[in-house]
Chain A
Amino acid sequence: MDPIRRTLLGQLARLSAGAALIPLAGVANAGINDQPPRREGDPTKRYGMLIDLRQCIGCQACTVSCHIENAAPLGNFRTVVSQFEVEEQGSGEVATFMLPRLCNHCENPPCVPVCPVQATYQRQDGIVVVDSDRCVGCAYCVNACPYDARFINEQTQTADKCTFCAHRLEAGLLPACVESCVGGARIIGDMRDPDSEISRLIEKHREQLMVLQPERNTLPQVFYLGMDERFTTRPQAEAGIWDVLGMDGKEVGYEFGH
């Protein structure tokens, strides 16, 4: 078995064990850069997401609906679908690989302990949120997140990120990205409920699931089905899009607002 899958299995084992041991997260008297206790949210739940890449067509409906739902500034995204063109060098065959990205709501989120004012915290249901009234905009969390899931919102001048649409979940609705996904690729749910769809899917596909950058020990809780291992870390790719230059030698096309 390859190391990535082995790591993942370890994580899943830990996840299911963790479900029974909620106080595990409530480690008081934290050392420097240890995870602080979680607060707020429903302690009986642990939200997670499974993304079935086999169903994703890269339509960016999730990107757009999230952008509208959460009013992110132009050029910043709480979720986005990275798209790659993969050319098999022997046969010259070309395929497209789609990789939806969002906050992984990690079990060991590196963005949380760095926050100097506890503005960013993990709820007991696992969702990592930012209190934008408290945030001082030091951007430490933006640098600490290895997934580029955070940004400084230029309108609020505070840290901004995906919240699994916590406000919608609390109202009994699905997150905007899940609601709008045309292929039904995104599945969100309570992983502590053994009968939830996500629990059943994790159980069924345990061997195939992968997470992003497992070697960082962040224990992401967004699981990918139908994933190619080469894309779990920073892809060895050509940055094709930036080669498009205008008459004046400047990049054209894919640039927002800056």
Chain B
Amino acid sequence: MSLVTEVVVPRYGIAWYPWAVQYFFLIALSYSTLWLAAPGLILGKQAWMTTARIALLACVSTTLVAPVALLADLHQPLRFWHFYAHPTPWSWMSLGSFLLPIYLGAVVLLAWLAWRPALKARSHQNDGWFSRVAGWLAWGEWQAPRAVLALVGAGALVASLGIMLYTGFEVAIVKGRPLWNTNWLPPMFVATGVIGGCGLILVLNRITSIRHPDTNRQMLAILVGACVVTGFIALTWFLDGVNAVSGSVAAALDSVSQSAAWRSTAIEGGIAGGLLATLAFVMRRSPARRKAMGWILGLLALHVAWMFRWVVLMNVQTVARNSAGFHDYHVAFGSYGLLGIIGIFGLWLTAVMLIDLFVPWREASSDPQAEPVATAPEATSISASFEGAPSHG
């Protein structure tokens, strides 16, 4: 036996900044809310229409902002066009750079088709700039058949599968970071993404004053399911690797046993996840509790989804690979840290507010030929959105 002390060793910084967490968080919210919008919007199930409208707002806003965070994580953001000048089919990141615009385009097109009837209706009102902008956004009086919306929706769903695959495997193939190098990571990203997506819809259901009981009920049911799936994936990951000498689980156990920070993170994550699953399970059957607590649970769900990504992407980078101990990482105040995190959240809020201002998203329709009752922006209140689906031709 001998005691080894490190005397000279360089300090290695982290290479991916909190921007990466913001991207993985937003893009996961984006694809999960797209799937949550699908029953109402793409399949035309009326009971899901209110949820679909909120989900579509969540999906479009996160889809628009996520690439900004991704771009910001590049050290040379202005060279982003190199991705398209030098296509590299063997790199997951390059594949992602082609998938992302396709996905973004499909989502925006889907939302546009769903919002057009309401936009056209608003453009006919005499509401000054709002009508004028609605007219520009609607881009003519023509009508798209419902099949086009369903087709674009199906395309967006397929593209979202590509996004799930690439965001997961981009990280999971990195052998240099044993904690990432597991096939259980991609499904875990998706499962926690669905948790976050349900959370975001629960929160939006409250803060947009829609407060639809169906949405609370549906989201809590899916939230419970996603928690169970997440738990199973985590358990399988653990059992799969607990006896291995090296690998993802061994690296995690090493980190938890060696570092107080990792221990507290594991405890915090465990408590947050456990609390979320328990509360969601307890509250899912009581409409009164759902109404009172749904949005708080939504915030907790968002916290779980965000924190999982923070731990995976940031904390794992502090595990030293060639030296003892852990690298020091403190979130900087500037654009590489706190300002970036807050800035992206602010950008998302701006996107939501702009959409809310200029798009009658509460009247989104699964049928582009529908003729909804037009509402002026100031009239988009609780009562208006409680009316549910527009007339269905």
Contacts and interface: CB of A to CB of B under 8 A. Distances in A.
B316 to A, nearest CB: 9
B90 A152 contact: no
A89 B175 contact: no
A143 B176 contact: yes
A114 B92 contact: yes
Given A90-B1, A117-B94, A143 B174 contact: yes
Interface in A213-230: 215-218, 230
A82 B6 contact: yes
A144 B6 contact: no
B90 A83 contact: no
A172 interface: no
B322 A234 contact: yes
B120 to A, nearest CB: 41
Nearest to A82: B9
Interface in B1-25: 1-13, 15-16
B76 A135 contact: yes
Nearest to A35: B90
Contacts of A139: 15-16, 73, 75
B381 interface: no
Contacts of B76: 135-137, 157-158
A68 interface: no
Interface in B112-161: none
Contact of B12 (A115, A138, A151): A151
Contact of A241 (B3, B7, B320): B7
Interface stretch (B40-48, B81-89, B284-292, B342-350): B81-89
A136 B5 contact: no
Nearest to A257: B11
A239 B174 contact: no
A146 interface: yes
Q: Of residues B6, B169, B325, which shows the largest number of chain A Cβ atoms within 10 Å of its Cβ?
A: B6
Contacts of B385: none
A145 B323 contact: no
B246 interface: yes
Contacts of B79: 134-137
Q: Looking at A116, A118, A137, A144, which has the most chain B CB atoms within 10 Å of its CB?
A: A116
- State the majority secondary structure of interface residues on A: loop
Interface in B59-75: 73-75
Given A82-B9, A136-B74, A238-B4, A116 B94 contact: yes
Interface size range of chain B in the complex: 35 or more
A82 B8 contact: yes
A134 B11 CA distance: 27
B78 to A, nearest CB: 9
B173 interface: yes
A255 interface: yes
B321 interface: yes
Interface in A146-162: 146-148, 151-152, 157-158
Contacts of B232: none
A241 B79 CA distance: 39
Interface in A59-87: 60, 75-77, 80-87
Contacts, number: 193
Q: How large is the interface on A (under 10, 10 to 19, 20 to 34, 35 or more residues)?
A: 35 or more
B324 A81 contact: no
B108 interface: no
Contact of B7 (A88, A96, A119): A96
B336 to A, nearest CB: 11
A113 B176 contact: no
A144 B11 contact: no
B86 to A, nearest CB: 4
A208 interface: no
A186 to B, nearest CB: 18
B386 interface: no
Contact of B82 (A110, A136, A217): A136
Contact of B13 (A32, A85, A242, A258): A258
Contact of B324 (A115, A135, A235, A251): A235
A235 B2 CA distance: 12
Contacts of B176: 110, 143-147, 216
A238 B5 contact: yes
B177 interface: yes
Contact of B91 (A89, A96, A116, A135): A116
Interface of A: 30-34, 36, 58, 60, 75-77, 80-90, 96-97, 101, 110, 113-119, 134-140, 142-148, 151-152, 157-158, 212, 215-218, 230, 234-242, 251, 254-256, 258
Given A80-B9, A87-B4, A238-B6, 15 more contacts: A32-B90, A32-B92, A82-B8, A82-B322, A115-B88, A116-B83, A137-B79, A138-B73, A140-B93, A143-B174, A218-B175, A235-B323, A239-B9, A242-B325, A256-B11
19 contacts: A32-B95, A32-B169, A33-B91, A34-B90, A87-B2, A87-B5, A116-B91, A116-B93, A116-B94, A117-B88, A119-B82, A136-B76, A136-B80, A136-B83, A139-B15, A145-B176, A237-B5, A237-B323, A241-B8
What are the 6 A-B residue pairs with the smallest beta carbon separation, nearest first?
A137-B75, A239-B325, A139-B15, A146-B176, A142-B15, A116-B94
